[in-house]
Structure 1
Amino acid sequence: MTMRWDVFLAHVQERGEYPTRTEAERAARTVLALLGAHLVGEVRAELAARLPETFSLILLNPLQAAEPLSAERFVRATAAWIEGATERTAAWDVGAVLSVTADAAGEELTRRILLQLPPGYDLLFGRPQDTSVPGAANASGD
């Protein structure tokens, strides 16, 4: 089911603690335009179907990315697109927008989205994955 425009933006505004709906919308447009460049096929189409129409179109007509960006570079790219943003504020913007996007997508689709993205995006979506592997803690001792 598609999340309504006003509901989506209200959630982004609340999570991002934006004083205005306009700021929430600017963050959502930028983050979804960058995200769209990283998703392909059925996963992108399914996510678009669950977003309000304007954001759906942004996701389906993304800013072009020459290569998949790591989570860290995704935040940096967001900062570059939002006037006056720093990496810290951009990380906040990305987290607010992607956590609401994950809510709209649902757990199963969010899991499939994360499979298409480089490691680290689970934290941006507010869905930290349990990547613990037996013995892995000992391997990083040095």
Structure 2
Amino acid sequence: MAVSWEDFLVQVQERGEYTTRREAERVTRAVLASLGAHLLGFERRELATELPAQCRPILLEVLPATSPLSPPDFVQAVAMLIEGATPETARWDTGAVLSTVADIAGKDLLHRVLTQLPPGYALLFGRSEMA
């Protein structure tokens, strides 16, 4: 059974130790928009269907990135989307959201997603680097 938006946000809120659900939603939207810009084709659509329905437009309606970002540059891009964020807080936010995404996506889909991204992204998803 699919995870609800509320359950997804609860997981992000717990992992990120955010005081409000609104803060969890704010960082979730920023991280998913950044991720959606860096994924293509089938994996992006499949990931969108595995996540709560509210995640779909965030992942699918964003314009594709012009070039891939390294993990530190991805975190910096997330920081630019979150008011008051620093690279350190954005790294925390990214980990809270992407580790939740990884748990929902499962090993096979996560592996396919990671093959589209530059090396080092597995750590952002809370996983060791996959070979």
> If the length of structure 2 is used for normalisation, what is the TM-score?
0.95
Q: CA RMSD in A?
A: 1.2
Report if the CA contact (8 A) 1:47-1:105 is conserved. Answer: yes
Distance 2:82 2:40 in 1: 24
Mapping of 1:94-109 within 5 angstroms?
94-109=94-109
Q: Is residue 54 from structure 1 mapped to residue 54 from structure 2 by the alignment?
A: yes
- Whole-Å Cα distance in 2 between the matches of residues 56 and 92 of structure 1? 23
Q: Determine what percentage of the aligned residue pairs are the same residue.
A: 59
1:63 deviates by 4.9
Is contact 1:2–1:51 with CA below 8 Å preserved after alignment?
Answer: yes
Q: List aligned pairs for 1:86-97, cutoff 5 A.
A: 86-97=86-97
What are the residue-to-residue correspondences of 1:5-84 with 2, within 5 Å? 5-84=5-84
Describe the SS at the equivalent of 2:54.
helix
- Give ranges in structure 2 of 5+ residues lacking alignment: none
- Tell me, in whole angstroms, the C-alpha distance in 1 between the residues paired with 2:130 and 2:108: 16
1:2 aligns to what? 2
Q: C-alpha separation between the residues in 1 aligned to 2:63 and 2:19?
A: 26
CA distance in 1, matches of 2:130, 2:65: 28
TM-score by length of 1: 0.88
Alpha-carbon distance between aligned partners in 1 of 2:13 and 2:41, rounded to the nearest angstrom: 29
Aligned residues: 131
Aligned to 1:124: 124
Q: 2: CA distance between counterparts of 1:99 and 1:33?
A: 15
* Separation (CA, whole Å) in 2 of partners of 1:2 and 1:71: 28
Helix, strand or coil at the partner of 1:68: coil
Contact 2:122 2:130 in 1 (8 A): no
Determine if contact 1:35/1:62 at 8 Å carries over to the other structure.
Answer: no
Stretches of 4+ aligned residues off by more than 4 angstroms:
none
CA deviation digits over 1:82-114, x for unaligned, max 9?
Answer: 000000000000000000000110111001100
- The structure-2 alpha-carbon separation of the partners of 1:41 and 1:63, relative to structure 1 and needing over 3 Å to count, comes to closer
Give the deviation of 1:127 after TM superposition.
Answer: 0.9
- Aligned equivalents of 2:20 and 2:100: distance in 1? 17
Q: CA 1:130–1:37 in 2, change beyond 3 Å: closer, same or farther?
A: closer
Structure exhibiting the larger radius of gyration computed from Cα positions = 1
